[in-house]
Structure 1
């Protein structure tokens, strides 16, 4: 029974992480009508920037904020420099550009940080948040599951026409998620 519960917790954690990635891809596609194949590499580059800042002694949460800022500026620069130049109605050049950006960002990360696995520091407290028998549910799992069912739903509903906004609590709309 413990093994079953542990596998259930692991499955919920992995499923939540994959669902969050899918929600990000869908939101970008709905906003731009473009499948951005470089989106994962842009997130990977942001994670490496956070790790590098942390290795230089910057506190973790400051490194996360700075990494998000740098990653956002980089993504905006790539969009303005490469993607915006092409006609959005013609999808083939845009797909080729995003695939090229995928390869370039991957190669840059390989040159700077090599292919060796790197350990990322703990963002949440050590130990398990919930223990049932020998099955443990980590703080990361709880965070991923919470994010999966809170923010994407609000973002998706508020990005739709006004009739769907009534489904979302007003606190999300007031917070600027529209």
Structure 2
């Protein structure tokens, strides 16, 4: 039972990162119908920016806020400079552009920070653990769960109870009507990319903690979080969060129990399993758990 609890909490910690990344995908897609395949690079940038701020002697919690601000501004800059001029262009154009932007960002980070893996400092002992129900749980995992829940809760409060949130929901529903009502759609899109970047930065910070490290390939975790977007529903922020946590738990439980049962075939099977779940959902429920089927009236 203790080993199951340990794997469960580790899965929730990983799932909190998946949820942050998946929510970033969904927020941008809802607002502009764009798949941001540079989301992983924003996550990596956030992790490296955190290391840089800490290296300057900035307190840890202040550095977290500063990192989220910097990465959010980078996301807003990408939207303003590269994507806004392409409004009205075919979807595949923006998809290719975000892939290209991700490649450029990864190259720049490699040049600026190098390829050497680095550990993410924490205000507590990096290998510290607590005993819960006989299971030894890393403090890093508990902190990741707590930070993820707080950030996601703050996002949903913003969306539901603030003027910006109402404008974001209106823009996601219909941009033309929003513009007719006087909503500054361009600013709202910029704010959407800012929020997505800030969430990615937070995910990058906690993903880079022990037992993992920070390197230029950290952003590939976004591709492993992408199934959560499909399973939860492309247009559902709630679905992205629920599916992110669920797939994180399933991945860790698969690694702990299923990989060994499959023998040589099971090596790294846990990294493939979320995609198997995604394919099944595409076959059975293509709009995801919380997604809504689009109905076009002719």
- The structure-2 alpha-carbon separation of the partners of 1:155 and 1:50, relative to structure 1 and needing over 3 Å to count, comes to closer
2:47 alignment partner in structure 1: 47
Q: Report the CA distance shift for 1:143/1:120 in structure 2 as closer, same or farther (over 3 A).
A: closer
What does 1:26-37 correspond to in 2, within 5 Å?
26-37=26-37
Q: Classify 1:73/1:158 alpha carbon distance in 2 versus 1 (closer, same or farther; 3 Å).
A: closer
1:5 deviates by 2.4
Gaps of 5+ in 1: 160-164, 166-172
SS at match of 2:86: coil
**Cα distance, 1:20 vs structure 2:** 2.5
1:162 is matched with none
Query: Given that residues 21 and 39 in structure 2 are in contact (C-alpha distance below 8 angstroms), is that contact kept between their aligned partners in structure 1?
Result: no
Confirm or deny: 8 A CA contact 2:36 2:98 kept in the other structure.
Answer: yes
The TM-score, its normalising length taken from structure 2, stands at 0.48
| Structure 1 contact 35–95 (Cα < 8 Å) conserved | yes
- State whether structure 2 residue 90 is matched by structure 1 residue 94: no
Aligned ranges 1:10-159 → 2 under 5 Å: 10-123=10-123, 127-133=128-134, 135-146=135-146, 152=152, 155=155, 159=159
Match of 1:100, SS state, is helix
SS in 1 for 2:23: helix
Determine which structure has the larger helix proportion and give its number: 2
Partners of 1:88 and 1:94 within 8 A in 2? no
Decide whether the 8 Å contact of 2:28 with 2:35 is kept in 1: yes
Determine if contact 1:41/1:106 at 8 Å carries over to the other structure. Answer: yes
What is the DSSP-based 3-state SS (H/G/I as helix, E as strand, rest coil) of the residue aligned with 1:117?
coil
Indicate the residue corresponding to 1:9 in structure 2: 9
Decide whether aligned partners of structure 1 residues 148 and 51 sit closer, same or farther in structure 2, where only a CA change above 3 A counts.
Answer: closer
Name the SS of the counterpart of 1:137 in structure 2: strand
Distance 2:130 2:117 in 1: 27
**After superposition, where does 1:154-165 map in structure 2 within 5 Å?**
155=155, 159=159
The CA RMSD measured in Å over matched residues stands at 2.8
| Secondary structure of the corresponding residue to residue 136 of structure 2 | strand
Task: Please state how far the C-alpha of 1:143 moved relative to its aligned partner.
Answer: 4.0
In the TM superposition, what is the alpha-carbon distance from 1:43 to its structure 2 partner?
2.4
Evaluate the alpha carbon distance shift between residue 154 and residue 78 of structure 1 in structure 2; reply closer, same or farther with a 3 A threshold: closer
Stretch of structure 1 that moved more, 124-133 or 38-47: 124-133
2-structure distance, mates of 1:27, 1:20? 11
Q: Return 5+ residue gaps in structure 2 as ranges.
A: 167-298
- Count residues in correspondence: 165
> Is the CA contact 2:129–2:139 (under 8 Å) kept in the aligned structure 1?
yes
Instruction: Measure how far apart 1:85 and its partner are.
Output: 0.9
Instruction: Considering Cα pairs closer than 8 Å and 6+ residues apart, tell me whether 1 or 2 has the greater RCO.
Output: 2
